[in-house]
Amino acid sequence: MAHKLAAGNWKMNGTRADLGQIMALAAAHPDPAVDISVCLPATLISEAAQHVADHPITIGAQDCHSAGSGAHTGDIAAQQLLDAGARDVILGHSERRTDHGEDDALIRAKLVAAGDAGLRPILCVGESLAERDAGRTLERIGAQIDGALEGSDGPPSALVIAYEPIWAIGTGRTPSLDQIGEVHDFMREQLKARYGDTAAAAVPLLYGGSVKPGNAAEIFGVPNVDGALVGGASLKESDFTPIITALSAS
């Protein structure tokens, strides 16, 4: 069975003055059976990692370059993130796909780089509202998973997949529980077809997109939902801890 994971994505938010939220989260950690990761802006990773060194929380990054080093001004290699204290990295987030034109081939290369460095990749997939309305959700999700994992003989090291419908990110809108369940069941079957039942069952499948304390419990009650990738509600411990508590109780 996949381990439960609550991952926070601070996006382009936060300064050193906000790291107290990480310490408050560490103090409030409700259940060691639930993994917690907070994916921070690169400027905060090293100091945050030092703060949680003695706590069961990992610090993550929000992207990495596909190359291990070289003339890539402004980019950060996976090994450099690991050296700074990151243990996880978000890859293929819709905002990276949209804002930076990232395609499946590039995301696949980044996934390999992250795995080679020893980072746990959190692969994001999700459909637009137009794709949802056209009945192409599963087609889109399947293409993103196949594109990212093409050529791999087994799941990349400690792979996590997060389903984030683009139209639900930061909008307050969420798919119905049946819609979430349909996508998560589909993703599990995709992994089974590629890697077999045992390996597929070990991959945590997260839901992301306007996850809040008020809707977390019902989302975590959906089969094959092993946790959440949380955006705005992860910025404050008082919002993130109830989501973690709901996951622990699921």
Which residues belong to the annotated binding site for substrate? 9-11, 170, 210, 231-232
Residue 233's identity, in one-letter code, is A
Active site residue 189: no
- Which one of 93, 102, 127, 237 is the catalytic residue? 93
Q: Which of 231, 224, 186, 189 is nearest to 208 (CA)?
A: 231
Q: Dmax of the chain from CA atoms?
A: 48
- Which one of 95, 102, 131, 164 is the catalytic residue? 164
Q: Which of 115, 125, 27, 99 is nearest to 66 (CA)?
A: 115
Active site residue 164: yes
Strand ranges inside the chain, DSSP E? 4-9, 34-39, 57-61, 88-91, 120-125, 160-163, 205-208, 227-230
Residues with Cβ within 8 Å of residue 9, at least 6 apart in sequence:
39, 62, 90, 93, 208, 229, 230, 231, 234
With contact defined as beta carbons under 8 Å apart, do 40 and 60 qualify?
yes
Measured CA to CA in angstroms, residue 108 lies from 70, 103, 222 at distances of: 19, 9, 28
Binding site membership: which residues? 9-11, 170, 210, 231-232
Q: Return the active site residues.
A: 93, 164
